[in-house]
Structure 1
Amino acid sequence: MKREPATSRFKYTKEERSWIMQDWGNSAYSIMITTAVFPLFFKAVASSGGLSDATSTAYWGYANSIATLIVSLLAPILGALADYKNQRMSMFTFFTLSGIVATLAFSFAPAGSWLYLFIFYVISAIGFSGANIFYDGSLIDVTTNSRMDRVSSAGFGWGYIGSSIPFVIFIAFQLTGVLPVSQTTLIKMGFVLTAVWWFVFTIPYWKNVEQKSFIEREPHLIKNSFLRLWSTLRGIKEYRQAFLFLIAYFFYIDGVGTIFKMATAVGSDIGLSANDLIVVMLIVQFVAFPFSILYGVLAKRFGAKNMIFVGIITYTFICIYALQLESLQTFIILALLVGTAQGGVQSLSRSLFGQLIPKERANEFFGFYNIFGKFAAVVGPLLVGIIAQVTGNSLDGVFALIILFVIGGVLLIFVKIPHEKEVE
């Protein structure tokens, strides 16, 4: 089915803009809750509640593992259910509001109640990741195949800026001390800001994005959703290109995610301070914005698959350059390189997968996409940890990630991309 295109290849339709703004809104959760502020707050509360540093770190790891496991196991069935007519938006709304309400609940945490934070963090993480299954699946309904790369890239690009604004506001208040409140109160205000930001910028998505590709409703939705999943797995040869891509994606996205997650630990190992690492984090965010957009534009000319190869080559060089890390200057250079490729690889992987799957079953297939992305977060950190422990140098562990990029790149060569002509 052909949809109404944008008036210009350099402008976005109302649906495309609304879809992009959802990334702008929910990405605030990624940096404020997942990465920067909440982990430190959780450890501080756990410490005041009598837990040791090692124990609180372990519980933080358990919380992330529980949320990841739940979403990963539920993703295919949730996606299969969302493929039925009028199902996707209600499921998206349930998970989004669960994440927003749980994030807001952080601001009411009793002193020393780490268990309260543990429970609501798991709920918020499930809400955030669960909603993204349906958000990713809706990409095929807001644009055409020929514009999908650029729209997906714009989502990631603007998401980097959207995630940075609440964080910068929080840091500005923290550093200046202009508000006459305690540090704990300021942090809780940051959680409120994150929840409100997420909610407000999801409103355009609720208003303007519709489910156009779907399967007609039938009795016994859950039972039939499981049957469709089983049919998909049994007929894997029919979707050979999509599943071959997922295997390639599993390897190279593991390398991408590992470098991002391990960057703080590696920076600390070479002697960088917490403030240095915050600055570097912001550098990655702001550099990733224009380069994510650029990847989408270049994909129009050279193809998404070729641009993913550019990103993989960039990350391979990053692994080699990591051996030279010894100062803030060299770490900033590494951060700049990561920023040039991170958003582009992620966004084009999403849009390329969207072009390989049956549109009426997009949510089901993006459920599988979510599984491969989530479980890809296992091999890379394990590889870094083992190599670093054996050699006594974490930089050797980063270098070893080349293996993942090479395997992913080689597998990607064999993925055949359909060329479907559409009206611009």
Structure 2
Amino acid sequence: MSTETVRVADETAERRREQRGWYFYDWACSVYSTSVLTVFLGPYLTAIAKSAADADGYVHPLGIPVRAGSFFAYTVSLSVIVAVVVMPLVGGVADRTGRKKPLLAAAAYTGSAATAGMFFLDGDRYLLGGLLLIVANAAMSVGTMLYNSYLPQIAPPEERDAVSSRGWAFGYAAGSLVLIANLVLYTAHDSFGLSESAAVRVCLASAGLWWGAFTLIPLRRLRDRESTVERASAASGARQLMETVRDMRRHPLTLAFLLAYLIYNDGIQTVISQASVYGSEELGLGQSTLIVAVLLVQVLAVAGALAMGRLARTHGAKRTILGSLVAWTVTLAAGYFLPAGRPVWFFVLAAGIGLVLGGSQALSRSLFSQLVPPGKEAEYFSAYELSDRGMSWIGPLLFGMTYQLTGSYRSAIVSLVAFFVIGFVLLARVPVRRAVEAAGNTVPEKI
């Protein structure tokens, strides 16, 4: 065996090892997205806010009158605004120093600690819940941005759709596993000597412990690379957001993709964060039903992510994503007509969401990785994460305002259809092959 063959084999083995470690950050942090943000925290924090509300159903954070049913949505929106400020600064530091792992560790353990602190939410402590949600959600966004920025470094272009899809599948598998444990604990809380509130708080806190524990695996396996970006002084951090925007203006096709992604992903993130509130408040479904529905989403999202990854190899990532947006539109529009108190139809809706959720997110990530100029991974993925979680404050804000004005969660949920329709139109107009070439990358055979 030649020396060159041995070298290539060693590089491939090291790349596979890093990829397997990379998957485990999705395994670690996705439990926060599923157990905390999607299932438990929305209904629980809404209930706490209602217990603190005045006779007219309003709470008054910082003296501002807010309908208790809108508090969770507004808090999610505020957490995203905080992330918008922090992510470009961290992304710029990561690219200039080449030291992503310490930053990833700081973000992960900040979010983990805030999530574990949710164990202390009881009574009428809605302000504490809002503060912990803001910290955890912002840390989640920063950590995910750094995690995503590894993708172009650990997978060549022809592997990225598959690697990205496997990462999402790992995350949904972890979410499913923990949700099963949550379902057992919640439904049998009396047998464990816990009240219903205590069971929910244990489920919330355990997601933080899971996040922290499994983050150790990617921190051991991922490696930092020497920066190819000129080092800058610490004072440049305050200017990083504007520098990133100015640099991206030199790649208008990449910016066009981000605009489309910003729109349709805002709809996706809002559905994820508000679906349990819709199910509990509008449809009158119990917590156990919501857990089973989200568990169904997790299981089908694993299959959906892998299946859509295979479709992308045949039809290209762009076409596959466009097809998923059509499915999102149909599924969400059908959600408006769901009858109250009929869990079976909520499960059908959950199945539809699950089949397109993982694939649309995984392929969007891998497609964007083709549009990133070499050496700018963390900086550009900070902009991507602004579009992923960071700019997803418009949907929750629209959802909360629609409910505040109409008192109807059905009106709030159907308003989100516009995000998928507009996102489809904008993405369809992006010439992705030219965008890849303009970024200085090799164009894959199928994209």
TM-score bucket (shorter structure): 0.7 to 0.9
**Would you say the 8 A contact 2:28–2:213 is kept in 1?**
yes
**Would you say the 8 A contact 2:321–2:360 is kept in 1?**
yes
Q: Using the alignment, how far apart are the partners of 1:219 and 1:243 within structure 2?
A: 24
What is the CA-CA distance between 1:273 and the residue it aligns to? 4.1
| Segment of structure 1 superposing worse, 213-222 or 355-364 | 213-222
Amino acid corresponding to residue 331 of structure 1 in structure 2:
F
2:168 counterpart residue number: 156
TM-score (norm 1): 0.85
Q: Using the alignment, how far apart are the partners of 1:38 and 1:376 within structure 2?
A: 18
What is the CA-CA distance between 1:160 and the residue it aligns to? 1.4
Q: Using the alignment, how far apart are the partners of 1:121 and 1:406 within structure 2?
A: 30
2:41 is aligned with 1:38: yes
Q: Using the alignment, how far apart are the partners of 2:45 and 2:400 within structure 1?
A: 26
Equivalent position to 2:151, from 139, 147, 154? 139
Aligned pair in 2 of structure 1 residues 171, 212: CA closer, same or farther (>3 Å)?
same
Alignment map for 1:11-410 (pairs within 5 Å): 13-42=16-45, 54-55=58-59, 57=69, 59-108=71-120, 113-176=125-188, 177-212=190-225, 214-216=227-229, 218-223=231-236, 225=237, 229-267=241-279, 268-322=281-335, 324-326=337-339, 327-373=342-388, 374-379=390-395, 382=398, 386=402, 395=410, 398-399=413-414, 401-410=416-425
2:428 counterpart residue number: 413
What is the CA-CA distance between 1:196 and the residue it aligns to? 2.4
SS in 1 for 2:375: helix
What is the CA-CA distance between 1:84 and the residue it aligns to? 1.8
What is the CA-CA distance between 1:59 and the residue it aligns to? 4.9
What is the CA-CA distance between 1:159 and the residue it aligns to? 0.9
Aligned pair in 2 of structure 1 residues 386, 5: CA closer, same or farther (>3 Å)?
farther
Q: Using the alignment, how far apart are the partners of 1:320 and 1:129 within structure 2?
A: 28
Q: Using the alignment, how far apart are the partners of 1:345 and 1:170 within structure 2?
A: 27
What is the CA-CA distance between 1:80 and the residue it aligns to? 1.1
Q: Using the alignment, how far apart are the partners of 2:202 and 2:285 within structure 1?
A: 28
What is the CA-CA distance between 1:387 and the residue it aligns to? 10
2:3 counterpart residue number: none
Q: Percent identity?
A: 24
Q: Using the alignment, how far apart are the partners of 1:399 and 1:60 within structure 2?
A: 18
**Would you say the 8 A contact 2:173–2:298 is kept in 1?**
yes
- CA shift digits 1:25-45 (9 cap, x unpaired): 111111222232234444566
RMSD: 3.4
SS in 1 for 2:391: helix
What is the CA-CA distance between 1:247 and the residue it aligns to? 1.0
- CA shift digits 1:285-318 (9 cap, x unpaired): 2111111111122212221111101101211222
Q: Using the alignment, how far apart are the partners of 2:334 and 2:177 within structure 1?
A: 30
**Would you say the 8 A contact 1:28–1:197 is kept in 2?**
yes
Aligned pair in 2 of structure 1 residues 347, 174: CA closer, same or farther (>3 Å)?
same
What is the CA-CA distance between 1:396 and the residue it aligns to? 6.1
**Would you say the 8 A contact 1:157–1:288 is kept in 2?**
yes
Q: Which runs of 5+ in 1 are unaligned?
A: none
| Segment of structure 1 superposing worse, 190-199 or 304-313 | 190-199
Aligned pair in 2 of structure 1 residues 165, 215: CA closer, same or farther (>3 Å)?
same
Aligned pair in 2 of structure 1 residues 422, 209: CA closer, same or farther (>3 Å)?
farther
Amino acid corresponding to residue 301 of structure 1 in structure 2:
T
SS in 2 for 1:258: helix
Aligned pair in 2 of structure 1 residues 285, 213: CA closer, same or farther (>3 Å)?
farther
What is the CA-CA distance between 1:73 and the residue it aligns to? 1.8
Amino acid corresponding to residue 353 of structure 2 in structure 1:
V
Q: Using the alignment, how far apart are the partners of 2:335 and 2:42 within structure 1?
A: 26
Aligned pair in 2 of structure 1 residues 221, 313: CA closer, same or farther (>3 Å)?
same
Q: Using the alignment, how far apart are the partners of 1:306 and 1:5 within structure 2?
A: 32
**Would you say the 8 A contact 2:48–2:124 is kept in 1?**
yes
**Would you say the 8 A contact 1:141–1:210 is kept in 2?**
no
What is the CA-CA distance between 1:213 and the residue it aligns to? 6.7
Aligned pair in 2 of structure 1 residues 247, 276: CA closer, same or farther (>3 Å)?
same
Q: Using the alignment, how far apart are the partners of 1:237 and 1:49 within structure 2?
A: 47
SS in 2 for 1:359: coil
- CA shift digits 1:328-365 (9 cap, x unpaired): 33332222111111111111111111110113111111
**Would you say the 8 A contact 1:291–1:343 is kept in 2?**
yes
Q: Using the alignment, how far apart are the partners of 1:400 and 1:114 within structure 2?
A: 27
Q: Using the alignment, how far apart are the partners of 1:121 and 1:322 within structure 2?
A: 27
What is the CA-CA distance between 1:79 and the residue it aligns to? 1.0
**Would you say the 8 A contact 1:384–1:398 is kept in 2?**
no
**Would you say the 8 A contact 1:73–1:371 is kept in 2?**
no
Q: Using the alignment, how far apart are the partners of 1:222 and 1:294 within structure 2?
A: 46
Q: Using the alignment, how far apart are the partners of 1:222 and 1:89 within structure 2?
A: 22
Across the two proteins, how many residue pairs are aligned to each other?
A: 416
SS in 2 for 1:357: coil
**Would you say the 8 A contact 1:24–1:161 is kept in 2?**
yes
Q: Using the alignment, how far apart are the partners of 2:357 and 2:269 within structure 1?
A: 9
What is the CA-CA distance between 1:394 and the residue it aligns to? 5.5
**Would you say the 8 A contact 1:257–1:377 is kept in 2?**
no
Q: Using the alignment, how far apart are the partners of 2:193 and 2:248 within structure 1?
A: 60
What is the CA-CA distance between 1:72 and the residue it aligns to? 1.0
